[in-house]
Amino acid sequence: MHFQKAPHGESKLVRCLRGCVWDVIIDLRETSPTYLHWQGFELASSNRHQLYVPEGFAHGFQTLCDDVEMGYLISTPYAAEFSSGVRHDDPAFGIVWPLPIAAISSRDLGWPDYL
C-alpha cells in the first residue's frame, strides 16, 4: 500500500489494461470522517473501470489472474524521498483480500504498524 508524503502527495487515476485486479485504497487523511477506512474495487480489462485515488490515500492491488497490466496517470512526478507505505495486513485497517498473498516485496512486508 503506497503513497507519497507531503509536499509531494499525489492523486492517481488507475486502470487495469490487461487481466484483473482487486484494487484497494485507504483514507490516511487524519481530519477525514473516513480516516483509516479502506475500500476495494475489481478493476479488469473486461469491465473497463477506472479508479480515482485522491491525494492522502494509500493504494495497492492484488492480481486475480496471470498476465496483468496496469495503467496509472499521476498528478505529481514521483519523488523517491517522499515515498512511503503501509502493510497490506496492518491491523489498523483490517483489509480483506480475496486471495492469499502469494508474492510481495520485502520492502512492503517491512512497513511498521501504522498506529
Active site includes 49? no
Average pLDDT over residues 46-53: 98
CB atoms near residue 25 (< 10 Å): 23
Catalytic site residue from 2, 8, 49, 114: 2
Given pLDDT bands bounded at 50, 70 and 90, which one contains residue 91? very high
Average pLDDT over residues 65-77: 96
- Confidence (pLDDT) at 56: 97
Give residue limits of the domains in the chain.
2-109
Query: To the nearest whole percent, how much of the chain has pLDDT over 70?
Result: 100
Active site includes 114? no
Catalytic site residue from 35, 37, 52, 72: 72
Architecture of domain 2-109: Sandwich (2.60)
Task: Answer yes or no: pTM beyond 0.85.
Answer: yes
CB atoms near residue 114 (< 10 Å): 16
Q: What is the C-alpha to C-alpha distance for residues 4 and 50, in angstroms, rounded to an integer?
A: 20
- Confidence (pLDDT) at 48: 97
The x, y and z cell numbers of residue 67, run together, are 498476465
The Cα angle at residue 80 between residues 67 and 54, in degrees rounded to 5: 70
What residue ranges in 1-115 does DSSP mark as E strands? 2-4, 12-18, 20-27, 38-44, 50-53, 57-63, 69-74, 83-85
